[in-house]
Structure 1
Amino acid sequence: MSRSTSIRRVAAVAVAGLLAATALAAGSSTAAPPPDAAVPTAGWQAGTPPLSTPWTAQVSPSNALPEYPRPQLTRPQWQNLNGLWEFAAAATGEAPPIGKTLAEKVLVPYPIESALSGVQRHEDRMWYRRTFTVPDNWKQKRLLLHFGAVDYDAKVWVNGRQVATHRGGYDGFDVDVTSVLHKSGPQELIVWAEDLTDETFQPIGKQREVSDHGIFYQGSSGIWRTVWMEPVATSSIDRLQLTPDLPTSSLRLTADTSGPAGLSVEATAYDGQRVVGTVRGKADTELRLPIRNPKLWSPDSPFLYDLKVKLIDRGKTVDQVGSYAGMRSVGKVKGADGKLRMALNGKILFNLATLDQGFWPDGLNTAPTDAALKFDLEQDKALGFNTVRKHIKVEPDRWYYHADKLGLMVWQDMPATKPDPIPAPWQAQFKAELHELVDEHKSFTSITTWVPFNEGWGEWDLAETGRIADSVKQQDPSRLVNAHSGMNCCDSLGDSGRGDIIDHHAYLGPATPSPAGDRVSVDGEHGGFGLKVPDHMWFGDGFAYEMTPDSATLTRRYVENQRDVLRSANSCGISGSVYTQITDVEGELNGFYTYDRQVPKMDFAQVRAVNESIIRGADGTGTSGPTPPPGTPGIDGIHFYPLDGTAEDAVGNNDGTLVGGATFGPGKNGQALVLNGSGQFVDTGAQLLDTAGSYSASAWVKLNKADGSFQTVVSQDGDRDSAFFLQYSGADQRFAMSFTGLRALSPTKPNPGQWYHLTGVRDAAKGELKLYVDGELVATKAACSLDSTSTGHTLIGRAKFGGNSVDYLDGSADQVHLFDRALTDTEVKDLYTSGR
């Protein structure tokens, strides 16, 4: 037995130790037999979900996800064990209910909290029980039980003997139960599951035991993917590892097997009925299956080759499976503007994606039917997207099969733990589940990018984050690795410098990071425009990053935002973007569809048109960076507010107005503006800086406090957010020159009661944001800004974020200068030294 490194097979007892040709159409294998008659159907009734999808009423005990669940390794003989099982809550240390009838019924594989399960409540621990019979013509073979996923800790008994334990809510496991089967008659199967959700640091994605009515959702416990069984020979193929290699026109193929070593494998590739390549060699070693002049897989032409793989022992075929693969490459290419971009098959292709949470109002973690599972992907394609970011969740294999067939690239996230740093006892488990995720899914053509971390949730050490990204790249060099999506956001520890991608989040955005070194840049999340649709909301209400009053406005705001994505692609060099999101989810109302998939919320023709324009034009061809004018010379700038008892503009003609009772007091140089942090500021009455070009802002500032609150010294209003913020960042407890989602930070925390000289510089030509403290350059950030529409007033002592006035200064400001150019290091030093 050569495949021993995977955590998928977990049989805990010794097991003892051919099939006809498998259909080449991997997604259309023989339908499963009906549920075993030994399980009674009385005593079960589906619950009533807050919202019903078009597929809710189609689900019943006789047809619970009957499709063949493993499209990349098919055999004609199998039996589906979905359907009604007995169910009961369990207690810690309780003995398994061997030979006992459980009081309740549950419809497997729907999680117990879902309406479709018929239980519709959470239990920390639970029992499942049913019986099954083994077909007579399987008796001379080994019997494997397959569990698609059980959340989170599982134990399995067959005929009173424990045969398996497994930890992990998103990966499958297999159990060889041959040695514990009765010779005939019913076989008893019992499963114990424990799911403590957010009480531990198990990977849970967006699940919470109780939904927060916000960005976290109702959890899903217990069995939530198909349970099934199949007969296999003593020697059999466990898994196929498939990696296209375009430079050699071949498919790298490894057949992982169980049984005696030294067997051979023969693999054949088909284009329809035509053989296009064959290879024969040792099992459990990498072979190269030649495919001359391969048809390349892409979103425009998602061609897949069918495969037939035989396991051969001394000239006899002892196992045969069907599969498929696409020929494509994933990489990075420099565009005409010199910026590095994501590429498919050696050509730049903008990855235009939606965020896909994978939740359902009737089945929660589990789509009600296979048609429903496919629906969201079909809508992505119809709306003109070519990529999906599978957001901190892992789907059943058939989801990736549908993506393969439809032609959608997939960024696959690792399910996050709760946002707190993962403690030492759980770190190894997180890494084990991450690598198992890659191992189980690395043969799907559609997956192009692995994402270990999202917004720093669970991240415990920045250097370790880099090492984890490196380990994933080593495990799968054929794809890109996005070490942490949203490295600029939330709980992120920052940029580890590892992986292939610089990924920023910005709501409403889009984000505007630029490629650097050997890493491309992407907008990992943006958008989030919302619309309320009465009678189609999970809680009867909800939220979005920006609510709109009607479909027309929602569509307009989406189109405007996506046009900015195109600008970010051509000006800043992003080569991918992720719009939030394909459907509403519980309290989030920012989908293209309502959560029940019943109501489209935008004009989809306009959506598709703007999306197609991005994919067509987002390659940087013919673009160049801005060439800002030289600006006005002089140390005073274009506006100067000495704040020496008045808000007079000593250089320009825009005297300020004191708002909210702002006063004057002792300053760094004479008097200074004194603000109390609650509604007080100075309004200059005009837009004083052209934020489309280069500019600088300078001021002396003294804080009354330096805690977790943001305080802004100088800013300029935009439509929703300030175009820039010269500020104290409460999140970092540092001074900063900031754009929304991007901060150039001072290295140390300021002391309350001490005067500091701050200068923030925006150099549009270099695409940089700089912060100086007391005349010294302390931080430089690569920054490409799209904000050329800032027409709001320039302000001293407050900012604007999310359309609201925020971040009022609690302290004093003095000697405010505004410049229509990027100051040099020497000029900033001279300004500081002058005391002005």
Structure 2
Amino acid sequence: MKTHRGVLAALSAAALLVAGAAAPAHAAPDWRPGIPPLATPWTDKVGPKNALPEYPRPQLTRDKWQNLNGVWEFAEATAGQAVPTGQSLAERVLVPYPIESALSGIQRREDRMWYRRTFTVPANWKVGSGNRLRLNFGAVDYDAKVYVNGAEVATHRGGYDGFDVDVTDALKGAGPQELIVWAEDLTDATGQPIGKQRRTGDRGIFYQGSSGIWRTVWMEPVPAASIAGLKLTPTLTSLGLTVNAPAGTTVKAVARDGSRTAGSVSGAAGAALTLPISKPKLWSPDNPFLYDLEVSLISGGKTVDTVESYFGLRTIGSRKGADGKLRITLNGKILFNMMNLDQGFWPDGLYTAPTDAALKWDLQQDKAMGFNAVRKHIKVEPDRWYYWADKLGLLVWQDMPSGNTGPLPEQWRDQFEAELHEMVREHDSWTSIVAWVPFNEGWGEWDRTATGRIADAVQAQDPSRLVNAHSGVNCCNSKGDSGRGDVIDFHQYLGPAAPTPSETRVAIDGEHGGYGLKVSNHMWFGDGQAYEMTPDKATLTAKYVANQTDVLTAAERCGISAAIYTQITDVEGELNGFFTYDRQVTKMDLRQVKAINQKIVREADGSGSSIPQPPPGTPGLEGIAFWPLDGTYGTLTPVGDPAFAEGHNGQGVAVNGSSQFLDAGKPVLNTATDYSAAAWVKLDKADGAFQTVVSQDGPANSDFFLQYSGADQRFAMSFAGVRALAPAKPEVGKWYHLVGVRDTVKGELRLYVDGELAGTATACLPQGAPTGNTVIGRGKYNGNPVDYLDGTVDQVHLYDRALSAAEIKELYASNN
């Protein structure tokens, strides 16, 4: 963010460029690259003369600019050290690669550092004679000070946002000018936003940090009155445009479709303008059409500045599908966002891709694999990454980089929020970005109410996009759901997660998958891990296809609008990529990957047409099985010698809470469709122990539990981990009538107590066919018999359909 306090820090909004000559690096020719543990296909293509030479700011370009990437002098700095003005530094670093990277030539970390070089301003730029010289930094991690000819011209805090400064008044004559940059990066020793960076990687999910200059540095001449920034907000028929330029000037914007003028608008600088587009063409992943945009600044009747830009017409929002579930829309149409998780690390450049072709390559693979979206995971990329996402047609969910995983220290909270809003401000014109994600899995989160407030603030700052207040709200260090934002986001490995949308918020699987494969000679540490390892490419591919098939089921049944697979490449010790960390080996059969991804996008349309309707079931209230238990077990087999006792109607069966139950000898219920279970029960105790009244054994757990939940001390109709709960604790020694209902069409469990609806729970995913016996008086969990009933059970009914509320009330009355 632009927190500049230097004497000449009259800073403008993000500036951008397109083509120009690279400035020579004024340093001794003794720079040498380090040797990375792994080399990418682009490692050997990087050198002093071609260190990211492309124009770094594609959405605001000028024809005159000069790239300052290349070899700079470098030295470790100490706290309080004087600025080394006029002094040659001992080492050489290749900018803009972070110093920990092999490509930098330093390949070690330092808390503090100096960079030094000289530059010469081209005479035809006419700086000082009507034009000013603007110096631009894509990013410096984390605190930075900039000196020109010994004068401090800017200070900046924040490792993920750009800054710029007018250095005209610090120039001396027409010859070489000295440029010195000081940087300090304490990484996880502080509360600063760092994402996955650590001073030392943990061989797990946190990686080697990236310090110092890590994005392009460049300079450009600008008129005294110039365009400092553009804010572009598209609709389906027009472009909202605000031009950051001096008050009292006028702007003119012209949109072009090739050689055709598609629209134009003129108005005051700083005003919110609307540029209507004739015969509009919409941007989408299938057709990422982009308009060219020329913006001119007029002062005193003369054009004093002109910049080039571009935009796409698109909207992002939500609406209910035919199935009644709220879903994400692009351009007003439901579109499932099938995403790849992208963390943006490179074995040779760490945070900085070795070349622009490499930066583009990852996104090209996403498209080739049938993904239509990317989650940029707790990192903010250089502008050209978003440019390629715009050009290739990929929706982007943009995370805010977190601090450490624990709650942010109070003194860092304002800084976190300031950097979050600066991230939104700097990136609010990219066509591809459709959602902001302030928090991930509770990392850095300090208070649920504050999370909701922050989500509201981002939504107010940018109402044109979705706000996902908290990715993985069900996980890890989360403070719980604030209820704010546009998205309910669960993580589940291996998953997928299957939250359901509300009336106002869509639901997504924020992370799933994570299957791994070791590839010899292509692992950062020579070894690594994943959420589940596989032995070979075929097995890994089969696991992926099966996992993604479950994603489609979750989309159709539960209504998730997006899913995010982990991840595009291996990263250090994480081996769960489609590609190895060095991008040298493809780990899956990408034809199968593409086929299942495209099937998800095509069929997860909210139509509800794929959900099978349950059969009508057996009519009447007796059901497919009825055990009165009035002095006889009927078809049930007693286990552990339970006894008959006084029941609700006549006799019932008393069980001892430790070893006694009744076994039907077969699966009575088809758990793959609708069913209901009813029974009278009287508890002899109601403490913290679970007690199951009726269940049916599954492979590892009971397919369902009609139970007393000891964790909640309430009655429940449950699956493992899902409970429809009654509102109050039952009384010991009192008879209750319980009915549990499984409704596959609504995707829920319902519990009725004494004829009245007592609780519901979402259970949208289908169950498998039955495999085990129906039992009365115990459950099954992790393969073991558990949750024995301590009490008396009577009048057990089973139904092959979902009983209606009226039927349940009638059943209760008839037995009462």
Q: TM-score range by the shorter chain?
A: 0.7 to 0.9
SS of residue paired to 1:525: strand
Equivalent pair of 2:334/2:606 in contact (CA under 8 Å): no
Q: Which residue does 1:227 correspond to in 2? A: 217
1:214 aligned residue (182, 204, 217): 204
Deviation at 1:208, TM superposition (A): 1.9
Distance 1:310 1:449, change over 3 A: same
Spell out the pairing of 1:314-329 with structure 2 (5 A cutoff).
314-329=300-315
Q: Which deviates the most, 384-393 or 782-791?
A: 782-791
1:127 aligned residue (107, 110, 114): 114
Deviation at 1:459, TM superposition (A): 2.0
Spell out the pairing of 1:321-340 with structure 2 (5 A cutoff).
321-340=307-326
Spell out the pairing of 1:433-582 with structure 2 (5 A cutoff).
433-582=419-568
CA distance in 1, matches of 2:92, 2:425: 34
Q: Which residue does 1:13 correspond to in 2? A: 7
Q: Which residue does 1:33 correspond to in 2? A: 22
Deviation at 1:440, TM superposition (A): 0.6
Q: Which residue does 2:391 correspond to in 1? A: 405
SS of residue paired to 1:236: coil
Residues 493-548 of structure 1 show CA distances to partners (whole Å, capped at 9, x for unaligned) of 22222222222222222222222212222222222222221211222222222222
CA RMSD of aligned residues (A): 4.3
Equivalent pair of 2:655/2:792 in contact (CA under 8 Å): no
CA distance in 1, matches of 2:774, 2:715: 19
CA distance in 1, matches of 2:254, 2:396: 27
Equivalent pair of 2:518/2:528 in contact (CA under 8 Å): yes
1:255 aligned residue (216, 239, 243): 243
Q: Which residue does 2:764 correspond to in 1? A: 784
SS of residue paired to 1:673: coil
CA distance in 2, matches of 1:413, 1:485: 9
Spell out the pairing of 1:169-184 with structure 2 (5 A cutoff).
169-184=159-174
CA distance in 2, matches of 1:487, 1:783: 18
Aligned residues, how many?
785
Distance 1:483 1:184, change over 3 A: same
Equivalent pair of 2:553/2:765 in contact (CA under 8 Å): no
Q: How many percent of aligned residue pairs carry the same amino acid?
A: 64
Distance 1:299 1:633, change over 3 A: same
Q: Which residue does 1:692 correspond to in 2? A: 672
Q: Which residue does 2:76 correspond to in 1? A: 89
SS of residue paired to 1:237: coil
Spell out the pairing of 1:294-309 with structure 2 (5 A cutoff).
294-309=280-295
1:766 aligned residue (730, 746, 750): 746
The runs of 5 or more residues in structure 1 that have no matched partner are 1-6, 643-648, 659-667, 676-680, 751-755
Equivalent pair of 2:636/2:662 in contact (CA under 8 Å): no
Amino acid in structure 1 at the alignment position of 2:4: V
2:188 aligned residue (178, 182, 198): 198
CA distance in 2, matches of 1:775, 1:322: 69
1:51 aligned residue (38, 42, 63): 38
CA distance in 2, matches of 1:682, 1:394: 60
Q: Which deviates the most, 72-81 or 767-776?
A: 767-776
CA distance in 2, matches of 1:738, 1:206: 38
SS of residue paired to 2:32: coil
Deviation at 1:162, TM superposition (A): 1.8
SS of residue paired to 1:570: helix
Residues 635-684 of structure 1 show CA distances to partners (whole Å, capped at 9, x for unaligned) of 999799x9xxxxxx9676577799xxxxxxxxx97633289xxxxx9999
Amino acid in structure 2 at the alignment position of 1:191: V
1:66 aligned residue (53, 70, 80): 53
Q: Which residue does 2:656 correspond to in 1? A: 671
CA distance in 2, matches of 1:370, 1:298: 23
The runs of 5 or more residues in structure 2 that have no matched partner are 642-652, 731-735
The answer as to 2:153 corresponding to 1:163 is yes
CA distance in 2, matches of 1:72, 1:558: 37
CA distance in 2, matches of 1:520, 1:313: 47
SS of residue paired to 1:278: strand
Deviation at 1:200, TM superposition (A): 2.2
Equivalent pair of 1:86/1:106 in contact (CA under 8 Å): yes
Deviation at 1:464, TM superposition (A): 2.2
Equivalent pair of 2:21/2:65 in contact (CA under 8 Å): yes
CA distance in 2, matches of 1:146, 1:748: 63
2:329 aligned residue (299, 318, 343): 343
1:101 aligned residue (88, 92, 98): 88
Q: Could you tell me the TM-score, scaled by structure 2's length?
A: 0.85
Q: Which deviates the most, 279-288 or 190-199?
A: 190-199
Equivalent pair of 1:512/1:786 in contact (CA under 8 Å): no
Equivalent pair of 2:515/2:533 in contact (CA under 8 Å): yes
Deviation at 1:446, TM superposition (A): 0.7
Amino acid in structure 1 at the alignment position of 2:109: H
Residues 596-653 of structure 1 show CA distances to partners (whole Å, capped at 9, x for unaligned) of 111111111121122222222211322457547668999999799x9xxxxxx96765
Q: Which deviates the most, 428-437 or 99-108?
A: 99-108
Equivalent pair of 1:148/1:173 in contact (CA under 8 Å): yes
Deviation at 1:402, TM superposition (A): 0.2
Amino acid in structure 1 at the alignment position of 2:319: V
Distance 1:494 1:690, change over 3 A: farther
Amino acid in structure 2 at the alignment position of 1:345: N
Q: Which residue does 2:176 correspond to in 1? A: 186
Deviation at 1:492, TM superposition (A): 2.0
Spell out the pairing of 1:351-366 with structure 2 (5 A cutoff).
351-366=337-352
Displaced runs of 4+ in structure 1, greater than 4 A?
623-626, 628-640, 649-658, 681-691, 694-706, 710-750, 756-763, 769-780, 789-798, 808-832
Amino acid in structure 2 at the alignment position of 1:618: A
Larger radius of gyration: 2
CA distance in 1, matches of 2:159, 2:54: 21
Deviation at 1:712, TM superposition (A): 11
Distance 1:365 1:682, change over 3 A: farther
Deviation at 1:431, TM superposition (A): 1.3
Distance 1:41 1:251, change over 3 A: same
CA distance in 2, matches of 1:176, 1:148: 15
Distance 1:580 1:211, change over 3 A: same
Deviation at 1:787, TM superposition (A): 3.6
Distance 1:254 1:829, change over 3 A: same
Deviation at 1:791, TM superposition (A): 4.4
Distance 1:134 1:811, change over 3 A: farther
SS of residue paired to 2:657: strand
Q: Which residue does 1:665 correspond to in 2? A: none
Equivalent pair of 1:514/1:574 in contact (CA under 8 Å): yes
Residues 294-353 of structure 1 show CA distances to partners (whole Å, capped at 9, x for unaligned) of 111111111101111111111111111000000111121322222222111111111111
Spell out the pairing of 1:640-655 with structure 2 (5 A cutoff).
none
Distance 1:465 1:669, change over 3 A: farther
Deviation at 1:285, TM superposition (A): 1.0
Equivalent pair of 2:288/2:393 in contact (CA under 8 Å): yes
Equivalent pair of 1:701/1:757 in contact (CA under 8 Å): no
Equivalent pair of 1:674/1:812 in contact (CA under 8 Å): no
Q: Could you tell me the TM-score, scaled by structure 1's length?
A: 0.83
Deviation at 1:782, TM superposition (A): 2.9
Distance 1:617 1:153, change over 3 A: same
Q: Which residue does 1:144 correspond to in 2? A: 134
Distance 1:605 1:470, change over 3 A: same
